[in-house]
Structure formats: C-alpha cells, structure tokens
Structure 1
C-alpha cells in the first residue's frame, strides 16, 4: 500500500525542513568555539587576501616582520579557542598592517546594534592617568573628571594596553590608539570582554583621596543617546556651526566635525554640505570676520569633494587635490566588477602607468580647482587639531598648510600620515570560519603637496595644547581659549 501526503502536509513538511536548515546555519554563524584548524585557515585566508588586494600591505611593516608575527601567532594555536579569543588573534593580523582605514569587526548577527549593552563610560587620558570624560550611567554621582582606577577589578593601565591591540592606525600612531580607546571606550571594551549586564568601576573623585566603588548597569546605544541629550547637550559641536566668539576683535569659530552632510533625498554628492558651507561664508563676510578659527577636532574624514568645497574659500589661486591614485593589478576586478561590463572595459585607460604590482593614474596639472571669487576669505585662519583628525581631514590639513592657508595650527598631532592614505574604495569580506568582517581599502591616494612644506610624517601643531583636567571639571575648552587669547595678544602687540 502506498501512502501519500496531502498538499498541506507536504507544504508543512518542507517548511519544517527549511526552518531546521535555517536554524542550523544560524547556529553555525553563532559558534562560540573554533578548532585550531579553523582559526589557522582564517589566518591564511586573511593574509592571502591582504596580499592580493590591499594597497598598503607591507608599506608600514616589512614583509619579514609581518611574517614573523604571523608565524608566531600561528604556532601558538594548538587547541580550540572561544569567539573573543579568536577575534583577539585575528585582530593582530589586521592592526599590524598599520593602516587606519583597515579594521576588523564582529559579524552583525553576533552583537545586534540595537539590543547590545555597552559600558556607559567614555574616558580621557591626561598625563598618563585616565579620567571619566562622559558618564552615561544612571548613577549621576559618578562625576566627570573622576580618576578611573579599575574596571571590574582590572587596573586601568593594564586594560587600556589590551584595548590598543584592537586599534588600527597609520604607521602604528600611538596617540591615535590612545584617542580611540578612551574616546570610544565602550566599543573596544565590548571587543575584549563581550556583552555584560553590568560592570564595577573603581574611581577617585576630583580633589579627594577617597576611593569609591560602584556597580552600574550596562546600557544599549539608545539608552546612552537618551542620557546624552539630557546630560551633555551643551558639549555637542554641530557640524558647520559658526559662532562669533569676540565681536570686538572680529573672531569667529567654524566647527567642521566631518566632511559629510547630506540632505533627505538621495543627496549622494553632499549638496547640503556645499549649501550650508556657503551660507557660513556669507555670514563670515557679513560680520567682517578677521580671524577665523576652524575646529577640526574629532573629524575622521568624509566625502573627498568637500575638501575642494572648503579650500576654495581660502586659496587665492587654482589648486589640485590629488597627485596620484594607484591600486594592485590583482584588485582590478574587485574594484571594477566583471558584471558591470562598462567600467572593467574602460578603466584600464585611466590607469596606464605600471610600477611593480600597481596600476597608476597621475595628475599632470596643478590648477584644476578654481577658488571662490565673491566669498574668498582674506582674513587670518587658525586650525585646531587632535589625533581624531584622519582621512579626508588630514588630506585637507596637509594641503592647506602646503598652500600657506593657516596662520597657525593649534592642538595635538593628527592621526593620518602627511603623504596620503589607503582609501577611496573599499571591500568588506568575511572570514570563512569565524565570520569576522574585514574592512579593506583598495586604493592608494597621494596628496598634491608641490612645496613639501610638511616634513614630519604626521602633521604637527605650531602650538601644542593638550586637553587637561580643569577643562573636564569646568566644561570649558582650553585649546579654543588658548587660540582666542593668542589672537587678542597678537592684535594688541600690533597696536602698540
């Protein structure tokens, strides 16, 4: 006798089978332990992929030094390891490329952005001690400026040393590692210890010798943002905000916190940034500003054409942004997908020069970008910088200095290299076993620096002004105060 399933039962059977497969695949993606062989295969896959497409592989670290580090890690893996330990090992292969645009992150399915809980503290390093810069916990008695001694009974110095292993920076820039491990402390703590329900903080209130220990709940990003609006709204710096600081001496400050600003309707070319920037320079002209402070602190970059839009208000003569672009031959079809048909067929013509494993495009003219005529700023300009200045921002700062635009640069060393960076286009690829996501630049971009004024590897300020404890306690900005006072004294000296 032959039995048959009716259509409904057949459908339910297939649906159950699909669900079981789906749950099985999800469980595979959520693996908590990996064999030594799985980790080693991911290591080899990552290294081979970097060597094939990464334009900066072995640029900041020699092949011999990288291979020695790789072999040392490879030979220590002889037993199964957990998810976070696997992340720590593979992070070393990424950060030791020593490029700030190259990074590793968890698979999206591992820690959901909305529901994941984070440590509710941001820190700041001052004179080799660590202080509470922002407290987003529900306990408001843990005040800004408190010295942090331990997190979950771990000495803060030991903890921060471990977190720095997760930070990619150009040529291993230490100031950049300090900047991000403190300024984005919750993100890096998550990478080291995973998600926690609560943490214990050991700290000392300012101007006391009494040590306090508090246990606080970890919070979601939405909960942290809600507290931020209520508790620290006055500390925010809106992008492209213009403030008249001293109307008598005609001093104003323009904040550029990122080189991106888009409108609501598919504003892929950042027309909003262009419109708002123009409006600011109309106000600058209207108020007859003689001394313009441009605050770039914390600006990690953005849309490269906005560099031109900014610099044209300062440069009295035509200029060009880029000296050359290059990418590896083996990365050609990663950049220009075969299925696109058109670009893969024609882009060879734009990169006709060959040098070793690279294809190049070199600009031959230095006058492609025209200056603004009606709104050209002719007063004195001062730039404020810190290690958070990177990518398009570093690009802007180095070009501007080379063109003689800023009167002075005040603050701290920037995070990006003087010559250029590995950027422009990227690929995100997934490791086969751990499923970690690797963010990889595909092009090398050299800035147009015809005068080569910038001799240092990282742009250095004319006046180094570091953030201090008094600034934390009083909610003021020491570097802005320093710059304004410098301008006032300069004006007074000219009048004498």
Structure 2
C-alpha cells in the first residue's frame, strides 16, 4: 500500500512538471469540428449540472438555441484561441459575471516564473479609470508622475476603443447591468492586456494630454539595478558612509515594526503604497467618518473594525461615509462583520444559498492545477468537508440549500454606529460589496451616491467555484456553485443597487484629481439636518 502511494506521488510530481510543456505544445493545434462540438456539449452540460439559477437572465430555450447554433456554425478546424473567441461570448449569455475563463495562452514553467520575478515592466504599474468613453491614468506607482491625468489612446498599433470592444466579449455582464464592464476593464486594464496580448518585453503606448499626443516606450528591466547604479557612480568621488547612532537604529527598528503592524492591520495592497482598509475623519470636529474598503480579501479585519467603530463612538460622530467604489468583492465573513456595526437590531445577513450539489465545498477539490501538496491536503480533509457539507445542505420544495453560518440570526456589535450612513458605489462595486449594499439598501440603512453597482441586487452566483477544463481545446471556465442572496429583492430583476444621488465622474474630474462623488456626499451631509 505504501509503495503504491509513493509511486502515485512520484507520478503526480512528474505529470505536474510536464503539464506546462504539454499545454504549450498543444496551443497551435488545429482541432477538428467534431472535437470542438464535443467541447461545446461538455461546457453546457457542466454548467447545467453545477450552476444554480442558470436560466435567471436567459430562458432555457434561448440558451439551448445559442449553444446549438454555435455547434452548427463550426465547419472547419480551429485552434484554441479561435475557438475561445466564439465560445466565450455564448457562455457570457448566462450573464453571471463570476463565470470567468482562462484565455488559452502560453504558460511559464517554475524556472521561467522565477526569472520573470526578477524583471519589471512599468506599464503594469499604471492604474487607469474609465470616464467619458475613455481611459485615464490615475496612478503611476513610482513611474513618471507626469502621466497622471493623461488619456490612454493606443497600445502598439491598436486603439483603446478597439481593445475595450474585444475585452467586453470575453466576460459576462451581471444580469442586464450596463455599468460593470467598462469599470472592470479599467480596473484590470493592464492585466487584461497581458492576458489577451501575451507576454511582452516592451509596450509602446500613445497618450494624450491636453491637445498633445505623445508616445512612451515601456521596456522590461531588472528589478535589482544595483550593478547599474554602481557603474553610474563617479569613481573619482569617494562617499563617506555615515554610521547610524544607537538612537537612530532604535528609531528605524521601531518604524519598521510599526510598518509591519500597519501592513497586517490595514492590509497592504501588494506592489503599491495603498492599504485595503482606511479610516479617517474628514472634519476637524470628527463628526464625519470616512471608511474606504478596497476589497474584502486581504489580511485580518476584526481588530480594524473594532478600533474604527470605537473611534466613531468616542467622537459621537453623526455621519459615516463607506466607500465601496471599485471594490469587486471578497470574503463574506468580513462583510457580515461590518454590517454588524451598522445595525442596532438582530439580523439575518443572507439567505441559505441555492446549490445543485450536496457537497459544494468539495466540488472545487482536485483542480486542473492542483500540485502535490494541494492534493495531499485536500485528500486529508475530504472526509471532514464532505460530512460538513452534507450536514449543512438541506432540500426544501425540491431545491437544495446550503446553510451558511451567515444565514443564521446574528446580534449587532456592541459599538454599532447609530448615525447616518452614506455609501459610495460604482460599476465595479461587485460581488460581496453588492451583497452588503443590497442589505443596507433593503433595510433602508444608508443613502447611496455614485453609479449603479455592477453586482446585481437580487443575488449572485459565487461562494464556491469549480474550474472545468474542456477535454480537447483545454480552455477553462470557472463555474459558480452557490446562489447567494439577501432577503431583499427588487423588480425588474437583473439590475444593481441604483444610487439615491447619481454622480458620474468625468474625464475633467480625473485630470484635476477631483472626487465629485465624495464632494456631493459631503454637500449632502452639510445640508442634512440631524
């Protein structure tokens, strides 16, 4: 038995090492029409088997017709990329934005990834925002700050409008929402460019500032440029190295310790100087608190919220602004925790999740890229997770429901905030952020300012996912396994949380570093009696 186990592990290790080379070798393969039709059937069969509320936004007959028409349209062989470009728009008709995909492109071996970590391309450090049908630079990292406020016109020989048009076809809307795609493309633009255009050593970008067009050529370079710096030093000049005093060493150590502590508490965003969670008072009298949450999936959070609401309670603040713009989601337990500070009565945060399997947590085990350690750990915990899932999943009126702990009645936090709450939203307010926004809207706890959320009001298919790999083309899709909803609904179905006060940022706002949504909220607070 032991020999068989060891042999199995060795075989798994060898196959995982060879999988990258095998995958890359088949990228240019021309697949027969029969093989591609087989992949289409496989895709639809898996979605029907795994995803709850599959026909929420499109009737079954219409989706059947879409897949059938696609099969009939294939008359000649295609490679994986060509097939991806016609299959993905059909999968997107399901209109569940969590259903992502993997673009069939070259993968890198462990050795290659190690080398790439030593290189950097400043183009990937740019942040852009969408306004007035264009993309505008909002952050540059440590790169040329003169680019701030510039419009991104073209990359290489392709214009930004053409790139955005192509990228919109590669992922779905959430229901019938129209604010999601442009905001998500802007938020992930450099990542989408890398995903769809492939690995590049350099990128040429045309920018526009005012009436002037100019080009920047970004080239990959070594992160550790100490050797270059040494070569640039004038050898005729000798610099004296100053020795630090004990007090200076102690201060430096203390600063480093504080930085580490802050990084943990506030959740430092990798590769930037930003934190996931920030809180500050916006006025000298501490009557207006501003809580900015960029995501729900970075580091511990309980201490941060405990300290934040203690400050609000101590100052007897009257207003709290919660900024959920560009927060595309994350952990439901953090969102649940925050809501406990925003209500003064018992509550049920979400309803039991609709599922199509009794073991939703186990369904994502043994994924296509599971390594040896993943397989070992998943095998060890498999019996426990299976029992847990079976115990938590119940059938009612022919529908399976997974009973989250968040679907139980909960008590408000002792330091719950009793003042007025204002929530800032936009098209990239999605997933867990939309669930929180729906709960606050449905309980009439907050005033919303900005744009319609990208996430749907009536719930979303998320929670747990299954990665499926098509048998022939090896294209991958991520299938949502749980329909997560609050008790609140709206009609018509398929739209997000609409703001009470609609404010859409303009290109001029970005160029002048003006936050029109926050300004409007402060104006609203100033004119609201208490």
Write the deviation string for residues 106-152 of structure 1: whole angstroms up to 9, x where unpaired. 479625777398754543332223333445696x3862222333332
The total of aligned residue pairs comes to: 450
Unaligned 5+ runs, structure 2: 1-9, 226-268, 366-377
Flag the 1:439–1:24 CA change in 2: closer, same or farther, 3 A. closer
Q: Quick check: 1:84–1:193 contact (8 Å CA) kept in 2?
A: no
Structure 2 equivalent of residue 473 of structure 1: 511
Q: Deviations over 1:42-68 (max 9, x none)?
A: 222212111111213222222232233
Q: 1:125 to 1:27 in 2, by over 3 A?
A: same
1:126 to 127, 131, 146: 131
Q: TM-score, normalised by structure 1?
A: 0.79
**290, 307, 311: which one aligns with 2:318:** 290
Task: Say whether 1:379 aligns with 2:438.
Answer: no
Q: Are 1:426 and 2:431 matched, yes or no? A: no
Equivalent-residue separation in structure 2 for 1:219 and 1:156 (angstroms): 25
Distance 1:75 1:133 in 2: 46
State the partner residue of 1:353: 395
Out of 387, 411, 426, the residue aligned to residue 370 of structure 1 is: 411
Quote the offset at 1:282 in angstroms: 0.9
Structure 2 distance, partners of 1:395, 1:194, is 34
Q: Distance in 2 between matches of 1:77 and 1:142?
A: 49
Q: Given the alignment, which residue of 315, 320, 323 partners 2:351? A: 323
Is 1:36 the counterpart of 2:76 in the alignment?
no
Using the alignment, how far apart are the partners of 1:19 and 1:343 within structure 2? 28
1:437-448 equivalence runs, <5 A: 437-448=476-487
Q: Which residue of 1 aligns with 2:100?
A: 103
Equivalent in the alignment of 2:256: none
For 1:283 and 1:21, the matched residues in 2 are separated by 51
Equivalent residue for 2:63?
Answer: 66
1:298-309 alignment runs, 5 A limit: 298-309=326-337
- Counterpart pick for 1:91 among 84, 88, 93: 88
CA RMSD across the alignment: 3.8
57-66 or 382-391: bigger deviation: 57-66
Distance 1:141 1:328 in 2: 50
Residues 240 and 277 of structure 1 are in contact (CA less than 8 Å); yes or no, is this contact kept in structure 2?
Answer: no
CA distance in 2, matches of 1:371, 1:173: 32
Look up the SS of the partner of 1:203 in the other structure: strand
Is the aligned partner of 1:49 residue 2:46? yes
Q: CA deviation at 1:422?
A: 1.1
Per-residue CA shift, 1:451-474, capped at 9, x if unaligned? Answer: x57877310011111222233223
C-alpha separation in 1, matches of 2:132 and 2:477: 34
Q: Paired residue for 2:188?
A: 184
The residue number in structure 2 matching 1:5 is none
Work out the CA distance in 1 between the residues paired with 2:440 and 2:16.
57
Aligned to 1:194: 198
**Separation (CA, whole Å) in 2 of partners of 1:442 and 1:65:** 22
User: What SS does the aligned partner of 2:305 have?
Assistant: helix
Contact kept, 8 Å, 1:290 with 1:380, in 2: the verdict is: yes
Paired with 2:515 and 2:39, the residues of 1 have a C-alpha distance of: 46
3-state SS, counterpart of residue 381 of structure 1: strand
Secondary structure of the 1:490 match is coil
**CA–CA separation in structure 2 for the residues paired with 1:287 and 1:21:** 57
Query: Please, what TM-score do these two structures have when normalized by structure 2?
Result: 0.74
Matching of residues 127-166 of structure 1 within 5 Å:
127-135=132-140, 140=144, 143-166=147-170
Q: Which residue of structure 2 lines up, in the alignment, with residue 401 of structure 1?
A: 441
